[in-house]
Amino acid sequence: MKERVKAFSIDFVILLLACASSAFAVVSIMIPNGLTLGGITGIARILQKFMNINFSILYYGLSLIVLVLVVLFWGWKEVKKVLLLSVMYPAVLFVFEQLSIELLEAEDVLLGAVFCGVFTGIYLGLVFWRGYASAGSDALSKIIRKKLFPGVALTKILLCIDGAVIIASAFVYGRNVALYALITQMIITKTSEMILYGFEDKIVQLTIITGKSDEVRDYIITDLERSLSIFDGRGGYSNRDMHQLVLLCSLRESMLVKKKLAAIDPQAFVTVTRVETVWGTGRSFKDIRKDSE
């Protein structure tokens, strides 16, 4: 019980900081500079144009609607994942509205779009890192996928929702504002990825098929000080037995492997796959315990 309380307390503090980051982005940057976003935030901005209601109240109402839809289409089990943020985030928004803090000294849509994306990306990265979700467009995309398009990737549905909201914003706030919203969305994506995966070296997976597997193995272990996995295989065309070497390394190290292969086996076949992150023991890898705290 104590461990659960401790874990929830840590989550609560981190989520509170995340909500403060997003609320600051919305209240102190986005609204004063006449900008908008996709998702529930963008819908609330469109409604705000026609209603003399605080943004936090509009957002809270939309969150409740999404929460009801989650209950109807997903059940109470899924509600647990979005309930905390559905209550916490609008409350933090309301507090920031009372503070009337603005980041920029004067209206600047470009700087506003950039920093709105940074602070919102921090919010999403922290929320996803702790395993929570908001009652926003991500929840709507899950509902649409389940009921209408079960074979379509969730990210594509989410992209369509955000895109539709941004296009609608163009008719309300103008095309320039919608284009700035696209810039903000891209920055949000990149910032949240940096929060989730950190600033460590980019990792790639090399799959190497070579007739000089022993030499390549020795080079990787001795010179690069990396480990690797070796699998037995058979060439479909040559029908010869061969080894397949699989290595996780940094981009710089992959170029060193390429240079070595060019020198000792120009006929080698290599595939390079981008890896988002690696949990485990090793240089450039993230400790799996840290991602589980």
Whole-angstrom distance, CA of residue 50 vs CA of residue 277: 44
The residue type of 51 is M
Coil vs helix vs strand at 286: strand
Same domain? 131 vs 233:
no
The pLDDT of residue 225 is 81
Same domain? 189 vs 55:
yes
Which residue range forms the structural domain that includes residue 209?
A: 203-292
Same domain? 146 vs 251:
no
Same domain? 245 vs 142:
no
Label the pairing between strands 203-210 and 269-275: antiparallel
Domain boundary among 197, 220, 255: 197
Tokens of 244: 């397949």
DSSP run (H or E) holding 208: strand 203-210
Same domain? 228 vs 102:
no
Return averaged pLDDT per consecutive 10 residues of the chain, 293 residues in all: 80 91 94 90 90 87 86 74 83 89 86 94 85 76 80 77 91 92 91 73 84 88 86 78 86 84 88 79 60 50
Domain boundary among 178, 197, 216: 197
Angle between helices 109-129 and 2-23 (to 10 degrees): 170
Same domain? 183 vs 40:
yes
Same domain? 122 vs 226:
no
Same domain? 75 vs 138:
yes
Same domain? 102 vs 179:
yes
Same domain? 184 vs 255:
no
The pLDDT of residue 285 is 61
Same domain? 134 vs 211:
no
The pLDDT of residue 198 is 66
Residue 210, strand partner residues: 243
Identify which of 209, 140, 178 has the alpha carbon closest to the alpha carbon of residue 36: 178
Same domain? 23 vs 62:
yes
The pLDDT of residue 283 is 58
Residue 246: DSSP 8-state: E
Assign residue 234 the CATH number of its domain: 3.30.70.120
Residue 206, strand partner residues: 247, 272
The pLDDT of residue 233 is 78
Domain boundary among 148, 180, 197: 197
Query: Count of domains in the chain?
Result: 2
